[in-house]
A = this chain, B = another copy of it.
Amino acid sequence: MSLVQVVALGGVGEIGKNCTVVEQDDDIVVIDCGLSFPNEEMLGIDIVVPDFTYLVENKERIRGVFITHAHEDHVGGLPYLLNQINVPVYASELTMALMSNKLEEKIPVKQLDLRTFKPGDVIPAGKLTVETIRITHSIPETCCMAVSTKHGHIFFTADFKFDFTPVDHKLTNITRIGEIGQEGVLCLLSDSTNVDRPGWGPSESLVADGLKKVFATAPGRVLLTTFASNIHRMQQFCEVAGEMGRKVAVVGRRMEQNLDICNRLGYIKIPKGVKINLDEMPQYADNQIAVLTTGSQGEPMSALVQMSKGTYGRLQIRQGDTLIYSARPIPGNEGAIWRTVNRLFRQGCNVVYQSADHIHVSGHAYQEELKMMVNLTRPYYIAPVHGEPRHQHLYNGIAKGMGYPDHRIFTMEAGIPLVFTETEAHVGAPVACGRVLVDSSGTPGVPDEVLRDRHNVANDGLVVITIAVDPEHGELVGDPILQAKGLHGPEGLVDQAFSFLTDALANLSPEDLRDTSIIKHEAQDAVRRFISKRSSLRPLVLTTIVEV
């Protein structure tokens, strides 16, 4: 019996760290290799990447990692995979350029096997092939991917929308997607992020009109913040600024880098004479100036956040400035974003963050677009990806509404393979899978215990007990020391805990005092019990026994 297997190492039941493995006999292809951002419970964590154990164990069979587009949730895990195994990585020219830039910061790119494709290319991968098909999304050169197996195509939509007026005029190859549907799609893995939005999403090019309206009434400089990867948004801003007789300066390292790359490779067309350097700004009146800036997520070190605090040396916000917030808050960042916006208002900057006109549009398909994708690909099986369980379940409802019976719809879970035989599909045995937390030193693998301790201290503080003993004679040496940090609670709590500790130690017999583990246990226990009873706090208690 000949099996085809699809297993997601991330990106199902969550939004982020997309990474899916397609297997057939001796061949494996991997679609995307992303990261995700920590939730509010992951204290001190910078990013989260998939557990790559399964790929490492099967590295001999991997024919390539195929990248659909250059967003972090599709490429950000690569350095952590390529640190463990060196396998070919395929991406379009632009995607490769944008991601190499970041890869280089972690790993020497020259050692890697990076291969560029053109949208439309069909790439052999052992006995599998991967066909790349242009599709529209919020970053240029996104490709959906059809992996042809002996049982039919496994079709990855990638992140997509059907935008008939994309800024670069490069249209989705709808016809080819339809042809692949006719050739036979075994399983569709579809973006489901926006499944809770009815209708059809607005085109990126509508944003130009929204921007124009803001420009038309802005008395002074106009700033715009968006994701540094939103190339078309930046292009539209430059075009509108140019039309309105303004020059555009760019602040923020990543934005400048991305614009340089796109400019060099021809993926952005900024009207001649519009772009200026930041230090040329004083040559122009305020109403001749426009500024592109990073910081749309309230990142503490970003240009925008520093400007909002008045600590950005190269540009000061002033009365009459207008900032266009042309992005979507990533969940968890709302607090930092609104604090930034509030500070900007306080400095006299008008922030346009909500508007009847489009100043931001989503890059993901709405309900009718999702249905159109099903219509084109006519898959036998359907599995929504790129969504939390709520998105997957709502998508399944749409599939049912299009006539799909339950047994042809799969709610994938990370690490649980979908196995296709010649006649049916079923769920296979789990493979190694999980999340790997990366701390701010960049070191992957922060264990749960570390998070638990951080939580503990973050919520209730910390008590450190130090006790010197002479174990030979079974006696305490001097008084114990009790220090509290990050602890509040009712008045006198720490002093009372100290009394309680000395009382508890006084009750120990000379035999007990010969056994440091008994001392440690009794001391810790006494302090924990007292504090919990008196204040219902449960601080982390650390005890050190010094034997002298």
Interface residues of A (CB under 8 A from B): 13, 39-41, 43-44, 196-198, 331-332, 334-335, 338, 341-343, 345-346, 350-351, 353-354, 356, 388-390, 392-393, 397, 439-441, 443, 445-447, 450-451, 453-455, 457-462, 464, 466, 468, 477-478, 481, 483, 485-491, 535-537, 540, 542, 544, 546-548
Contacts and interface: CB of A to CB of B under 8 A. Distances in A.
A388 B337 CA distance: 13
Contacts of A450: 461, 485-488
Nearest to A459: B44
Contacts of A13: 342
A30 to B, nearest CB: 26
Contact of A542 (B445, B464, B488): B464
Contacts of A481: 544, 546
A70 B535 CA distance: 28
B335 A39 contact: yes
A357 to B, nearest CB: 12
Top-8 shortest CB links A-B: A441-B535, A453-B486, A342-B389, A458-B458, A43-B458, A454-B486, A44-B459, A457-B457
A25 to B, nearest CB: 33
B486 A390 contact: no
B535 A488 contact: no
Given A440-B536, A457-B457, A389 B345 contact: yes
B544 A483 contact: yes
Given A441-B488, A443-B489, A542-B485, A461 B468 contact: no
B338 A478 contact: no
Contacts of A535: 441, 443
Given A345-B393, A393-B345, A548 B468 contact: yes
Question: Which of A441, A451, A483 lies at the interface centre, i.e. has the most chain B CB atoms within 10 A of its CB?
Answer: A441
A548 B443 contact: no
A540 B460 CA distance: 15
Contacts of A443: 488-491, 535
A34 to B, nearest CB: 19
A523 to B, nearest CB: 14
A464 B459 CA distance: 19
B354 A461 contact: no
B546 A346 contact: no
A341 B391 CA distance: 10
Given A450-B461, A546-B468, A390 B44 contact: no
A447 B488 contact: yes
A353 B350 CA distance: 32
Nearest to A393: B345
Given A440-B459, A440-B460, A334 B335 contact: no
Contacts of A548: 468, 477-478, 546, 548
Contacts of A466: 466, 544, 546
A536 B331 contact: no
Nearest to A482: B544
Contacts of A460: 44, 440
Given A334-B332, A335-B39, A464-B464, A441 B537 contact: yes
Contact of A196 (B353, B447, B477): B353
Contacts of A478: 546-548
Nearest to A351: B390
Nearest to A477: B548
A453 B485 contact: yes
A332 B331 contact: no
B441 A544 contact: no
A486 to B, nearest CB: 4
Contacts of A468: 468, 546, 548
A536 B335 CA distance: 26
Nearest to A197: B354
B454 A457 contact: yes
Nearest to A455: B458
Contacts of A461: 44, 450, 453-454
A468 B462 CA distance: 22
Contacts of A540: 485
Nearest to A43: B458
Nearest to A532: B441
Given A43-B459, A478-B547, A485-B540, 4 more contacts: A40-B332, A196-B353, A345-B393, A447-B488
